[in-house]
Chains A and B, each alone.
Chain A
Amino acid sequence: MDLAHALSSIPAFASFNAEEVEALSRAMDVAEFPDGHVFIREGDPSRVSDAAYVLLDGQVRVTRTADSKALAKELKPGEIFGLIALVDRGERSASCIANGPVRAASLGRAAFDHLIHSNASLAWKFQRVVARQLARDWERLRETLRAALAEH
Chain B
Amino acid sequence: MTTDDDRALAKVGSRMNDEQRSKLLAAMEVVTLSPGQPLAREGEPLDSLYVVAAGKLALSLVAAGKELALGELGASEMLGELAVLEPTVASVDARAGGPTRLLRLSHTALGTLRDGDAKLASLLLRALIEELSGRVRNCSTVLEQGEAAGKLRLAKDPENTSWLARTFGRLFGTRSEAS
Q: Which residues of A contact B (CB under 8 A)?
A: 64, 66, 68-71, 84, 87-88, 90, 93, 116, 120-121, 123-124, 127-128, 130-131, 134-135, 137-138, 141-142, 144-146, 148-152
Q: Indicate if the CB atoms of B143 and A87 lie closer than 8 Å.
A: no
Complex contacts, B61 vs chain A, CB 8 Å = 146, 149
A-B contact list, 5 entries, CB within 8 Å: A64-B140, A66-B145, A71-B140, A128-B125, A130-B129
Cβ of B50 under 8 Å from chain A: no
For the complex formed, measure the closest distance between the CB of B30 and the CB atoms of chain A, giving whole angstroms: 26
B164 touches A124 (CB 8 A): no
Instruction: Say how far B79's CB is from chain A's closest CB, in angstroms.
Output: 13
B interface, CB within 8 angstroms of A: 61, 63-64, 68, 82, 85-86, 91, 114, 118-119, 121-122, 125-126, 128-130, 132-137, 139-141, 143-145, 147-148, 152, 155-157, 160-161, 164-165, 167-168, 171
Contact partners of A87 in chain B: CB under 8 A:
126, 129-130, 133
CB contacts (< 8 Å) of A130 on chain B: these are 129
Contact A93 B140 (CB under 8 A): yes
Q: Is the CB of A68 within 8 A of B155?
A: no
List B contacts of A64 (CB < 8 A): 140, 144
The reply to whether A150 and B122 contact each other, CB–CB distance below 8 Å, is: no
Decide if the interface of chain B is mainly helix, strand, loop or mixed. Answer: helix
Instruction: Determine the chain A residues whose CB is within 8 A of the CB of B118 once the complex forms.
Output: 120-121, 123-124
- Shortest Cβ distance from B162 into A: residue: A152
Using Cβ atoms and an 8 Å threshold, which residues of chain B touch A152? 63-64, 155-157, 160-161, 164
Q: A68-B144, A88-B134 are in contact. Are A149 and B168 (CB under 8 A)?
A: yes
Minimum CB–CB distance from B95 to chain A (whole Å) comes to 19
**A134 x B132 contact (CB < 8 A):** yes
A123 with B122, Cβ < 8 A, contacts A66-B147, A84-B133, A141-B171 known: yes
Chain A nearest CB from B124 CB (Å) reads: 10
CB distance from A66 to the nearest CB of B (A): 4
For A93, the chain B residues whose CB sits under 8 A away are 137, 140-141
Taken together as a complex, chains A and B put the C-alpha atoms of A141 and B135 apart, in Å, by: 11
Question: If the complex has contacts A151-B155, A152-B63, are A142 and B137 also in contact, measured as CB distance less than 8 A?
Answer: no
A70/B147 contact (C-beta < 8 A), A120-B119, A146-B63 known: yes
Besides A70-B143, A135-B132, 7 new A-B residue pairs in contact (Cβ under 8 A), listed by A number: A88-B130, A124-B114, A124-B122, A131-B82, A134-B136, A145-B164, A150-B63
Across the interface, do A134 and B133 meet the contact criterion of CB distance under 8 Å? yes
Q: Nearest-CB distance from B89 to chain A (Å)?
A: 12
